[in-house]
Amino acid sequence: MTMNKNEILEKCKYYCDWKQDYSYIVSIFNFDKETIAPRGANEESDKALARIQQDIFKVLKSDDYINYVKEAYEKRNEFDEAHRRLFEFQYKEYIRNINISPELQYENSLLLGKSYSDWLNAKEKGDYNLYEPTFRKVVEMSRKLIELRDNKFATYYDMLLDDFEPGNNEVILDKFFSELKEGILPIIKKINASKQPRKDFLSYEVPIPLQERMSEFLLKFNGFDTNCGVLSTTEHPFTDFPSEHDIRVTTHYYLDMFTSNIYSVIHEGGHAIFGQNIPHELFALGLGDFITSAEHETISRFYENYIGRNKNYVYHLYNKTNEICGDIFKDVSFDEFYKGINIAEPSLIRTESDELTYCIHILIRYELEKDLINGKISTQGLNLEWNRKYKEYLGVEPKNDSEGILQDVHWTGAAFGYFPSYALGNAYGAMILNKMKEDIDFDKALLDGDLEKIKNWLKDKVFSIAPLKDPNEWIKAITGKDFSTKDYINYLHEKFSKLYKF
Ligand code: ZN
């Protein structure tokens, strides 16, 4: 059947509304599971979710939908940029699913549900071997889904990178990570030989209600719209985007690690601010779902580091912490606070790691997941391989698997190919920062507490075009330059040589 332009637009609107409604339901369901749902109901809730996802999948495989997707893709050049982009995404998704049956899709959903529960259980016990049999199935299923695809790439992992970060592949990322290694490891060495800042106060106990007040302050201060978003708690902080007017941020409180909450909230708040400031017309087309993970991590890590660890921002943080915490930090000067927050030292936990060593944590995950998906290594003994790499690159070794291989949630959901997004995001962010500084006085805006000014610049130059561009095109459109690690390495060098005086 041939469709004209209006018929395509009508179908497009119908399926966009349909998708948004179902995404809303799935999103709330996932959020519930990762926050307050009782563990005892895991099996039932996994089954219910798998059924919803299968029903959605059946619509995506229906003749009516496939006919629309093919027609829209063929005639995409007759439409505006946003529709064209949507039609390209929908077509890509159709090709990806072409040989996958609803039964297999259901099996995969159930497996991932079980994987999350088994991971959580194993993480609590600090024992990877309890999770390994399920994890092996997750990897096997991921490889099977790749094998079923018609469009082949040079490696299995390249196919996943194309899902997460179109335009990237192993060759590009190998070069990227080797530049990071070359740039970062010498700085770590110099720091290890320098005088270390005071850090005892980082483990001062801060009662949870006080930390909650801090979270509330930070979200508002950074520009999060509390009318269209909420904050909750979870094991592994994340941000959920059920709809344009419902964005959910999560954090985790530790009594003796108050900065953990602070930087989780700033990071996740960054994701949320991004989500809350995408142009409405792009959100309505569902294009918010197609912002890549590196684009998202660029913004969350921009808030976390380029803003959140900047001296002028830490000035507000210091004052507010003292205001809320009474005399808990009365023996800590601003200078000590700033240097302590920016401490750079090899550690075990990625989410708690400092700005400098962070990418080395990502490098380790990149090397492991690439070999795992390409079938070069197996899940058996992977915890030991993890520990070996931590020892080799960072000189530290986990005492158990919960501070080792079980610390992150990503692999449990088969999100192989996601980790590089964080490192790419750091490097994209440095280029964006330099561009922003040409237009506005960034440091002064932070000192004035004028986060609105920064948000508005990002909204105008960065958020507005993210759903329309692949990451490399996006960076070029914002900065006028091709992607490179230069700005990022320079930034790290400049910042840490000043902090550690070398
Ligand atoms: Zn993030």
193 C-alpha vs ligand 1 centroid, how far in Å? 32
Among 421, 464, 427, smallest CA distance to 168 is for 421
**Cβ 351 vs Cβ 264: under 8 Å:** yes
Q: Which of 71, 165, 268, 355 is catalytic?
A: 268
Report how far residue 136's alpha carbon sits from residue 359's, in angstroms, rounded to the nearest whole number.
26
Q: What's the one-letter identity of residue 171?
A: V
pLDDT attached to residue 118: 96
- Is residue 296 pLDDT above 80, yes or no? yes
C-alpha 433 chain-centroid distance: 19
In 193-310, which ranges are continuous DSSP H helix?
208-222, 258-276, 280-284, 293-301
415 C-alpha vs ligand 1 centroid, how far in Å? 13
Dump pLDDT digits (tens) for 71-82.
Answer: 999 999 999 999
74 is catalytic: no
DSSP letter (8 states) at residue 193: T
C-alpha 314 chain-centroid distance: 23
What's the chain's average pLDDT? Answer: 96
Q: Could you give the C-alpha distances from 442 to 95, 204, 436, 450, in angstroms and in order?
A: 44, 31, 7, 9
**Cβ 138 vs Cβ 411: under 8 Å:** yes
Residues 100-114 have a mean pLDDT of: 96
Phi, psi of 416 (to 5 degrees): -75, 130
Biggest CA–CA distance in the chain, Å, is 76
**Cβ 449 vs Cβ 315: under 8 Å:** no
153 C-alpha vs ligand 1 centroid, how far in Å? 27
Select from 1.10.1370.30, 3.30.70.20, 3.30.420.40, 3.40.50.620 the CATH code of 170-500: 1.10.1370.30
Pairing relationship of beta strands 229-233 and 239-243 according to DSSP bridges: unpaired
The kind and range of the H/E element at 486 are helix 486-500
348 C-alpha vs ligand 1 centroid, how far in Å? 18
Report how far residue 202's alpha carbon sits from residue 205's, in angstroms, rounded to the nearest whole number.
9
Report how far residue 51's alpha carbon sits from residue 39's, in angstroms, rounded to the nearest whole number.
19
The kind and range of the H/E element at 416 are none
Other C-beta atoms closer than 10 Å to the C-beta of 4 total: 11
Residue ranges, comma separated, of all CATH 1.10.1370.30 domains in the chain are 170-500
73 C-alpha vs ligand 1 centroid, how far in Å? 32
Other C-beta atoms closer than 10 Å to the C-beta of 159 total: 20
Phi, psi of 250 (to 5 degrees): -125, 155
Pairing relationship of beta strands 229-233 and 246-251 according to DSSP bridges: parallel
User: 126 — alpha (psi -120 to 50), left (phi > 0) or beta?
Assistant: left
In 75-207, which ranges are continuous DSSP H helix?
81-97, 102-125, 128-147, 156-164, 170-192
22 C-alpha vs ligand 1 centroid, how far in Å? 23
270 C-alpha vs ligand 1 centroid, how far in Å? 8
- Is residue 478 pLDDT above 90, yes or no? yes
Pairing relationship of beta strands 246-251 and 239-243 according to DSSP bridges: antiparallel
In the block, tokens 């989410």 appear at 351
Q: Which among 189-193, 289-293, 363-367 has the top mean pLDDT?
A: 363-367
251 C-alpha vs ligand 1 centroid, how far in Å? 12
Across-strand partners of 246?
Answer: 243
Dump pLDDT digits (tens) for 257-269.
Answer: 999 999 999 999 9
How confident is residue 152, by pLDDT bands cut at 50, 70 and 90? Answer: confident
299 C-alpha vs ligand 1 centroid, how far in Å? 8
Across-strand partners of 226?
Answer: none
DSSP letter (8 states) at residue 142: H
436 C-alpha vs ligand 1 centroid, how far in Å? 21
Q: Which residues contact 375 (CB under 8 A, 6 or more apart)?
A: 143, 156
356 C-alpha vs ligand 1 centroid, how far in Å? 17
446 C-alpha vs ligand 1 centroid, how far in Å? 22
In the block, tokens 């106060």 appear at 201
- HSE-CB for 77 with a 13 A CA cutoff: 1
- Is residue 151 pLDDT above 90, yes or no? no
With pLDDT > 70 as the criterion, what percentage of the chain qualifies? 100
pLDDT attached to residue 236: 85
In the block, tokens 């619509």 appear at 59
264 C-alpha vs ligand 1 centroid, how far in Å? 9
Residues 93-114 have a mean pLDDT of: 95
17 C-alpha vs ligand 1 centroid, how far in Å? 27
pLDDT attached to residue 235: 82
In the block, tokens 């899940």 appear at 379
Q: Could you give the strand order of the β-sheet that contains 239-243, starting from the edge strand earlier in sequence?
A: 229-233, 246-251, 239-243
- Is residue 1 pLDDT above 80, yes or no? no
326 C-alpha vs ligand 1 centroid, how far in Å? 31
Dump pLDDT digits (tens) for 38-53.
Answer: 989 989 999 999 999 9
Q: Global pTM? A: 0.95
Report how far residue 481's alpha carbon sits from residue 415's, in angstroms, rounded to the nearest whole number.
30
